[in-house]
Structure 1
Amino acid sequence: MDADHKSKGLDRMQKKSVSFIIPCYRSENTLGVVVDEIIDTMKDSGEYTYEIVLVNDGSPDNTWGVINEIAAKHSEIVTGINFAKNFGQHAALMAGLNASKGDYVVCLDDDGQTPAGEVFKLLNALRDGADAVYARYAHKQHNSFRNFGTAMNEWMAEVMLGKPKELFVSSYFGVRRFVVNEMIKYDSSFPYVIGLVLRTTSNVVNVDVNHRKREVGQSGYNLAKLFMLWINGFTAFSIKPLRLATMVGFLLSVAGFLFGIYTIILKFVYPYASNYKGYYALMSALVFIGGMILFMLGMVGEYVGRTYIAQNKNPQYVIRETTRDDKE
């Protein structure tokens, strides 16, 4: 019994390891500051060891050159991964998750808006039993366009992915190793990290952190990229859009049938009434129903297309090189 008790005590004394994952795009002027903040925050921590994984998502600027400089300066803790082209933030996160080794994994942005100095709020939540933890911001320092995109993303996650209404999701989050191990089993061409977390565990909490104003550059998300992110989110992990299309189609069919009966009755009651109003009503109905049919076919086509691409083994990402290549 004493030996067992002593063994458990030693396990508690063992340091936990933390992997920081940063997707990088057009961040040559901000990335160094983010890495320095992580190092300054973690250097006095006797409770954790850590590593930093920087994933260059096909940046057209000198981001990869900066990553190489950082990795050379901090070779013992920093690993750089360079994509062959731009695959998107969620693909970069998946590459980082696959490369990570930590007991806890923390993902944050490359622009400095997600404060690495407050990472212990996330780590404490994981240590206290949460499987996943998301940073929640009282005041977001994004522009109105990005705030709208975030609101739409929240709504989509609630309706399509079953996210609890009170849970706020963001790009600054931490997860336990077993969650990471489950997430990286997903090898489809269209990863969506929030969906992977939510389908793995329901033990997800929020912690409040500050959100900084962007000092350099602008967000890499435009309207087209946000739209594709929403599409990817609700088609990758939910068939609710197809069920919605089925329901709408059924209701339109019932409405069309009832309208047909109404038209027949109207013709008998008012046989000499003008047909012009009926013509306009008919055309409106045809245009509306035709548009809904095309929309539903497009939704079905999106699922079929994704299945086709997945069967062709379209990769989540392609790694051109890493900073570890020169050391092997």
Structure 2
Amino acid sequence: MQTDGLNKISENILISIVLSLYNEEAGVLNFWTALQEELAKYESIRFELIWVNDGSKDRTQYLIDKKITKNNRGNITHCTIEFSKNFGHEAAMIAGIDHAKGDAVICMDSDGQHPPSEIPKMIASFLSGNDCVLMERTHREDNGMLKKWFSSLFYRIINKLSTVKFRHNASDFWYC
């Protein structure tokens, strides 16, 4: 995707990215490298990264504080929220959304499950006037047959019980 067009259209917007973390010591620095490389492509877009540590018991918070958020650089600023214990992924996302100041909010996991390379599609969709974008996984290598079957069963049951229909393989990688 061409980023030049996004840079020209998007001057002075602020995108908040809420990042949920739970025991991510092993991979958070690699994730940060990929995210930083992606966001650096957009000089005219300001990004507010909200790192929400959902009660990690490892060195996740140390890495966030000492290696990632220590210095705000260029078009990226950081905010951290640290929970005293694990309240769950949804609580972490809501806390981040509540603190977001952006014109749009992107929610993503920091475990690499949601690739930063998909962010341009979300921004382009936002700039074209969409209020909400939900990313859908089309392929997942770590799912065995049994896991796929249970996932399919879950979506069939939840869609029979609910008036709101859920898309199979839709994730919590989204923006509004």
Shared fold by TM > 0.5? yes
Matched residue, 2:21: 24
Residue 69 of structure 2 is aligned with which of 68, 71, 79? 71
Matched residue, 1:163: 165
Matched residue, 1:122: 122
1:91 and 2:91 aligned: yes
| Structure richer in strand, relative to its length | 2
SS at match of 1:77: strand
Matched residue, 2:32: 35
Contact conserved, 1:134 with 1:168, CA < 8 A, in 2?
Answer: no
Amino acid paired to 1:81:
I
Amino acid paired to 2:132:
A
Q: Sort the Cα spacing of 1:152 and 1:17 in 2 relative to 1 into closer, same or farther, 3 A.
A: farther
SS at match of 1:87: coil
Residue by residue, what CA displacement relative to the aligned partner does 1:171-212 show, whole Å, maximum 9, x if unpaired? 21111xxxxxxxxxxxxxxxxxxxxxxxxxxxxxxxxxxxxx
Amino acid paired to 2:171:
S
TM-score normalised by length of structure 1: 0.45
The CA RMSD measured in Å over matched residues stands at 2.4
TM-score normalised by length of structure 2: 0.80
Query: Identical aligned pairs, as a percentage?
Result: 26
Q: Sort the Cα spacing of 1:163 and 1:79 in 2 relative to 1 into closer, same or farther, 3 A.
A: same
Please list, as runs of the form range in 1=range in 2, the aligned pairs for 1:145-160 lying within 5 A after superposition.
147=148, 150-151=151-152, 154-155=155-156, 156=158, 159-160=161-162
Matched residue, 2:46: 49
1: distance between equivalents of 2:65 and 2:10?
34
2: distance between equivalents of 1:158 and 1:101?
37
Task: Note the C-alpha offset of 1:116.
Answer: 0.3
Greater RCO structure (CA 8 Å; 6+ sep): 2
How many residues are paired up? 163
Q: Sort the Cα spacing of 1:118 and 1:141 in 2 relative to 1 into closer, same or farther, 3 A.
A: same
Contact conserved, 1:158 with 1:164, CA < 8 A, in 2?
Answer: no
SS at match of 2:171: coil
Q: Structure 2: where are the runs of 5+ without partners?
A: 1-8
2: distance between equivalents of 1:150 and 1:132?
24
Q: Sort the Cα spacing of 1:117 and 1:13 in 2 relative to 1 into closer, same or farther, 3 A.
A: closer
